[in-house]
Amino acid sequence: MTIIVHHLENSRSQRILWLLEELELEYEVVRYARDAKTMLAPPTLKRIHPLGKSPVISVDDRVVIETGAIVEYLVATAGEILGAPAHIEESLRYRQFLHYAEGSMMPPLLTILVINRLGILGRPARKPILAMFESHLRWLESELQDRNWFAGNSFTAADVMMSFPLEAARQRAGLDERYPNLLTWLDSIHERPAYQRALQRGGDYAYA
């Protein structure tokens, strides 16, 4: 089995490299640079999948898109390592955060990104969107009040999924010293050897 990660710089696909390192699965990386003006993925990614988005992986003759689906596929490939814990409450939290990362956190973060790029035109919308996003950060801070990781007391693929939105929130959406549990969690993932190896494989990454 040959796993190829079609990796776009400064993108959600960094999580896939990290997960592969955690799972100790062999893989190859094909890097893609963003357009300097639009910051979009290059057209060459459409040769891999018609949507031309990242992350996308090729596994022999199979192409898999969507971060959550790729994470679930790789966890299953590795024999459920870093998958859902046995305890029912932790298992439910695992699945919750696996989907929450993209389904609930990323839409407002993308909205904030667009607003920031609009400059003065986006200024009226920035404050209410950030205020709305604070409810996410307050809830997530409380979730880590009594445990080290999002599913429970053990690191899982749910933490891998949560990395990109919280890294992006640290950069542009108000994640600061008001949320010490979240900052401690970010420090913990950045210190993991597999995370560091993934940075070496993926190249420059603005959110680490």
Please give the mean pLDDT across all residues of the chain. Answer: 94
Which pLDDT does position 51 carry in this prediction? 93
CATH assignment, 88-192: 1.20.1050.10
Cβ–Cβ < 8 Å for 189, 1: no
Q: Largest alpha-carbon pair distance within the chain?
A: 51
Which pLDDT does position 204 carry in this prediction? 84
Residues 16-68 pLDDT 10s: 999 999 999 999 999 998 888 888 888 999 999 999 999 999 999 899 999 99
Cross-strand pairs, 67: none
Which pLDDT does position 127 carry in this prediction? 85
Averaged pLDDT, 120-139: 89
Residue range(s) occupied by CATH 3.40.30.10 in the chain:
3-82+194-202
Residue range(s) occupied by CATH 1.20.1050.10 in the chain:
88-192
**Rounded CA gap, 105 and 169, in Å?**
9
Which pLDDT does position 208 carry in this prediction? 67
Which pair of tokens denotes residue 62? Answer: 């199979």
- Give which of 94, 108, 126 is closest to 168, Cα–Cα: 108
pLDDT band of residue 122 (cuts 50, 70, 90) is confident
Q: Please state the pTM of the whole predicted model.
A: 0.94
Residues 64-117 pLDDT 10s: 999 999 999 999 999 999 999 999 999 999 999 999 999 999 999 999 988 888
* More reliable by pLDDT, 96 or 124: 96
Q: Over 90: is that where the pLDDT of 118 sits? A: no
CATH assignment, 3-82+194-202: 3.40.30.10
| Percent of residues, the chain, with pLDDT higher than 90 | 81
